[in-house]
A and B are shown apart, each in its own frame.
Chain A
Amino acid sequence: MQVSQDMTMARAEASATTVVEARGLDKSFGSVIAVDKADFEIKRGEFISIVGPSGCGKSTLLRMIAGLTPRSGGSLSVNGREVTGPRGDVGVMFQKPTLLEWKTVIENVLLPTALKGRVSEADRSKAQALLNLVGLQDFAHAFPRHLSGGMQQRVALARLLKIGSDILLLDEPFGALDEFTREHLNLELSRIVSDANVTSVFVTHNISEAIFLADKVFVMTPRPGRLAAVVDVPFPRPRDLSLLANPDFVDLVARVRDIFSKGETA
């Protein structure tokens, strides 16, 4: 595809550009420290997984980048601008599909556009194309209630892509789905975002899922929520499920798990 060629070129050329930068990023809720002095950078086109047990502050970190949760201290900028609230260059996908049950699938995909102004014919074609992309071409006029959980999350993914932001934040988007559906959707997600030239930040508590999807894995340990390590993932793309059985992959999973056990004894 011509598009993806352009994108690989764009990616190579812009590989040095930092899109998210955090210095001493802090968040506390009362006396509880959710995120403790995190320093990190995310480069354009990267796929970052944030992995950690529940309560390690991974969702809080994501929500701070999204501008949904204000930080308590430190600095955080996206595309060179300080984060002060929700913004157009960042799109969020939640664990629940968060679809409007009174709107059809295509109307749900068009919601971000409708909230910004008028929906043009071009927008409708674009929405239909995105539905094709996520494999829901025949369900444009169905209502969310008539779709399975996995299909509802596909709609949410199409809606996320319709926002047109260059940074996608995914907060355990397939966490509520069964193992098979999740693996399948992870594969598709990986294909879709690498075609779309976007930067992705994916939160999960599943180590192998985190590694499978990512270029870099941010490992977080709880109490207080700390960015314990950044692990590079060297496997080439496109990846398929056979990677899960690759010895190097298994080693990497073990290494990440090790960081958690050290974090606990420390």
Chain B
Amino acid sequence: MSSSANTNETRSWLWRVNPTHAAGHAGLLVGLLVLWETGSRTGLLDSLILPAPTAILAALWQIAVVDRLLWGHFGITLYEAMAGFVIGSAIGIALAIGAALWEPFRRYSAPYVVGLQVTPRIALAPIVIAWLGFGTTPNVAIAALLCFFPPFLNTMTGLLDVDRDLQEMFRSLRASKRQVFTQLMLPTALPYMMAGLKTAMTMALIGAIVGEFISASEGLGVLMHRFTFQLNMAATFAVLVALTLMGLLLFALMEWVDNRIVFWRHDERMQEISRKRAAREAGRAATETPGTARVAPAGRT
């Protein structure tokens, strides 16, 4: 019951819109949009700087539905971010497990970890592109590079945060080293890992876009670049909206995975699992010995 591991109690205010406040949220959003729209139409806002919401919506319609230009680029960026995320996280987690289990590795790698961490890693992007050339590969690499650290650090922290009393308990039950790792250390680290992976997902998307800005022929970053050169600001903002939607999609995906994997940090999930197990047990008891309860309830002596 480590109370220190509250890394995952953060669904909270971002995710949950209280239904009684829904009207308020909608009202505020509509109000802001109307204000923005009037500002643009009256010329108070330069539409070259900030196009009107309706103009952005029209541009989005144009590139997404009429020209069908958006989707290929959307797919490329999504692929780069996801591939980078998977590669970076996998390496991060693997190295963290090595570092947590093998003290010398942890000791000797620490200075390099700090060195790499304080370096703005996005500055490596031109170097990576110089190494790997053009196309999607360097962008995947940049995404991987950017998202490597959160899973690495969090996994290591989690693996080393195992409750001492639980370790003693496992020792008293003569658990093998392997059992201690799989049944105690890994589950303890999972909430930390998930928190790291959530951050990594955001970083991966940033990495992919920056890579595309620097040098690429496809992707939403390229598309944005192209539209700004054409001074087509409405289309540029439309691409930004598409990026926001992609970010939201990935965020929701991570929340869903989190809910499944570290269910013991989510009360509703735990209650659901408890209910299902109890129902299954009851069902089994009923089929095994029809008519009699298998376990006598409240049979206290």
Contact = CB atoms under 8 A, between A and B. Distances in A.
Interface of A: 1, 66-68, 86-88, 91-92, 94-102, 104, 111-112, 115, 125, 128-129, 132, 135, 137-138, 140-146, 163, 195
B270 A98 contact: no
Given A137-B295, A142-B274, A102 B264 contact: yes
Task: Determine chain A's interface SS by DSSP, over half rule.
Answer: loop
Interface string B282-301: 00000000000011111111
A88 B174 contact: yes
B301 A100 contact: no
Interface stretch (B58-66, B100-108, B163-171): B163-171
B277 interface: yes
A125 B165 CA distance: 28
Nearest to A135: B300
Closest 7 CB pairs of A and B: A141-B277, A98-B169, A102-B264, A92-B172, A141-B278, A143-B270, A141-B274
A135 B298 CA distance: 7
Nearest to B180: A115
A94 B179 CA distance: 20
B135 interface: no
Contacts of B170: 115
B49 interface: no
Contacts of A129: 295
B46 interface: no
B172 A68 contact: yes
A143 B301 CA distance: 26
B301 A68 contact: no
Given A141-B274, A195-B301, 19 more contacts: A68-B171, A88-B174, A94-B165, A96-B1, A98-B163, A102-B187, A102-B190, A102-B263, A104-B274, A115-B174, A128-B295, A129-B295, A132-B296, A135-B300, A141-B277, A141-B278, A143-B273, A145-B1, A146-B267
A111 B173 contact: yes
Contact of B175 (A87, A102, A115, A144): A115
Contacts of A102: 187, 190, 262-264
A94 B166 CA distance: 10
24 contacts: A66-B172, A92-B168, A92-B169, A98-B168, A100-B183, A102-B190, A102-B262, A111-B173, A115-B175, A132-B298, A137-B297, A137-B299, A138-B297, A140-B277, A140-B281, A141-B273, A141-B274, A141-B281, A143-B264, A143-B273, A144-B1, A145-B270, A146-B267, A146-B271
A92 B169 CA distance: 8
Contacts, number: 91
B299 A97 contact: no
Interface in B30-79: none
Contacts of A128: 295
A36 to B, nearest CB: 24
Centre residue among B168, B184, B263 by max chain A CB count within 10 A: B168
Contact of A115 (B173, B187, B277): B173
A132 B165 CA distance: 26
B274 A99 contact: no
B165 A96 contact: yes
A143 B300 contact: no
A160 B264 CA distance: 23
A100 B179 CA distance: 14
B1 A86 contact: no
A98 B274 contact: no
A102 B274 CA distance: 12
Contacts of B263: 102
